[in-house]
Amino acid sequence: MKKVLSVLMISLLSACASQTTQPAADVEDRTIGANGEAGNGSSIASGESNFHPLQDPNSILSQRSVYYDFDSYTVRNEYREMVTAHAQYLRDNANSKVLLQGNTDGRGSREYNLALGQRRADGVKNMMTLSGARDSQIEAVSLGEEKPRAVGHDESSWRQNRRTDIIYRGE
């Protein structure tokens, strides 16, 4: 219940943020995390926006996380448009660089999870380079299960931790 409340609070905060001119990046980021896989349908091209495309909360580029099934590194269909959009941004902005951090939930082997997180990050990198980003713009690393975003011992926490984060350098 607490979690639901805090999700609501953060959602409200970010909704406010998008109407004022204070798009605090980390609030934005947490919203995505808290919603888990629910980040669909927000790819509205905001033509009138004053935001930098990476910071526009209405842009698909504001979505920065890919979520996975247990022991899977397949990028699910619902994230392909988002990953492709980042790839195209990288293609069009040759000076931009991203760090991809692969994560897993905390169950099972730490070493296997380290390797699995790497495959997750590598998979996103692969998809990005296929869509026009340059290899030199992307570094893919794994945090395995060592840096969980959610620390609970239930599926709702694990789901948030099975994740690749897209982090723009210098942002």
Q: Which residues contact 19 (CB under 8 A, 6 or more apart)?
A: none
Q: Which two tokens stand for residue 169?
A: 């350098």
Q: What minimum distance in Å lies between the beta carbon of 71 and other proteins?
A: 6
Lateral strand order in the sheet of 163-168: 65-67, 163-168, 98-103, 138-144
Q: Which of 3, 134, 153, 169 touches other proteins by CB under 8 A? A: 153
Q: What residues from 70 to 109 belong to the interface with other proteins (CB under 8 A)?
A: 71, 106-109
The full DSSP string for 47-68 is TT--S-TTT-TTSGGG--EEE-
Amino acid letter, residue 64 = R
Amino acid letter, residue 40 = N
Q: Which is nearer to other proteins, 76 or 147 (CB)?
A: 147
**Rounded to whole angstroms, what are the CA distances from 108 to 50, 72, 145?**
46, 13, 9
Q: Is residue 115 part of the contact set for other proteins (CB under 8 A)? A: yes
Q: What residues from 32 to 71 belong to the interface with other proteins (CB under 8 A)?
A: 71
Q: Which is nearer to other proteins, 32 or 127 (CB)?
A: 127
Q: Which is nearer to other proteins, 39 or 106 (CB)?
A: 106
Map residues 2-31 to x or -, x wherever contact with other proteins holds by CB under 8 A: ------------------------------
Residues in touch with other proteins (CB under 8 A): 71, 106-112, 114-116, 118-119, 122, 141-142, 144, 146-147, 153
